[in-house]
Amino acid sequence: MIIAVAGVAGTLGGALLTQRGSERAKRLEIELVRDHEEVRENRSLRRTCYVELNRDARQFTTALNRHLHVMRERGVEEADSDALEGAKNAHRDRYSEAQMIAPEEVLRRASVVNQALNKVYGQVKRLELGAPEPGETMETAA
């Protein structure tokens, strides 16, 4: 009788252990898939952020150059200032987003670009107002 009970218990215990092992393996597999998806989504999010940051930095640069040309050729109108402000604001917003997403190495490089663009923006606005700092000219801003 004891041998029969031990045999049945062993059979049921073996099935239970096999089921637990299978459930554990399935949980690990699901966790690995989730981790892989998260890595892929983060990579995609960063890539989109980098593309948009680059695009907005280029558009800000173009707007600054266009503004300088307008200042040389004719007086600046409200629409010209609005276009420059729009490009500046778009770049600022994208840079702020990058600060939340990008790793330190990317932020260091983006910061250099951001500071340079803001420096030129300040020069352009001072030139526009007729109050440039010493050494600031249309050529130095360009």
At 12 the pLDDT is: 63
Whether residue 86 contacts residue 92, with contact meaning beta carbons closer than 8 Å, is answered with no
Contacts of residue 107, defined as CB under 8 A and 6 or more positions apart, other chains included, come to 98, 99
At 116 the pLDDT is: 94
pLDDT tens figures, 76-113? 778 888 898 999 999 999 999 999 888 888 899 999 99
**What does the chain come to in residues?**
142
- Which residue blocks in 102-134 are alpha helix, DSSP H? 104-129
pLDDT tens figures, 27-62? 887 787 776 777 777 888 888 999 999 999 999 999
At 91 the pLDDT is: 95
24 CA to centre of own chain: 37
